[in-house]
Amino acid sequence: MVAHMTRWRFTVDDYHRMAQAGILREDDRVELIDGEVVKMTPIGRRHASCVARLSELFFRQLGNSALLWVQNPIDLDEYTEPKPDLALVHRQPNYYNNGHPTPTDVYLLVEICDSSAEPDRRVKVPLYAQYGIPQVWLLDLEQQIITIYTEPMSDGYRTARVARRGEQVAPSAFPDRVLPVAEILG
């Protein structure tokens, strides 16, 4: 006899109610991906340093052109609320007080990987493409590269370009705001 297991997919509302009930704590490193509560890797010092450095670079380069959304949720659908390391989103007068940014609010998402980029490359990058996020940067601190994904399609990004030290990158929404890869990676 074969036993069939049924998985329960949590909605974003379920996920938030778990936090309100104390099942999930505010400092738990989790995110909701396709209805599953997924544990995120701990933030190491290189990772934290890169988040701070890139935040400062974006702040200096973009000023008020975009809102810098740091390690905060993005609502992709009713079952998915990832927490990218950084996002550039449209400015809102109320700073998204009435709800997290959605795919149409996003200019760029950035994921930073300290030890292994594969989980983000296999899971999150295709997920972002599926929801039409126009550009994703995957910063691989171990390999010292930035993979830039553009042209989202339902099954992934059509274009992926690797940038290395000595090169420069810019968010596609702000092509004149150029950042040296060496400064981003530190």
Q: Does the CA dihedral 121-34-136-49 come out positive or negative?
A: negative
- Greatest CA span in the chain, whole angstroms? 63
Q: What is the pTM of this model?
A: 0.92
| pLDDT tier, 1 (very low <50, low <70, confident <90, very high otherwise) | low
- Does 31 have pLDDT greater than 80? yes
For range 108-118, the mean pLDDT: 88
Number of domains observed in the structure of the chain:
1
The whole-chain average pLDDT of the chain stands at 93
Residue 9 lies in a domain: no
Q: What is the CATH number of the domain that holds 107?
A: 3.90.1570.10
- Whole domain around residue 112: which residue ranges? 42-185
Residue 37 lies in a domain: no
pLDDT at 119: 80
Residue 62 lies in a domain: yes
94-111 in b/e form (b: 16+ CB < 10 A) is eebeeebbebebbbbbbb
State pLDDT tens for residues 66-96. Answer: 999 999 999 999 999 999 999 999 999 999 9
Structural contact between residues 138 and 121, judged by C-beta atoms closer than 8 angstroms: yes
Residue 31 lies in a domain: no
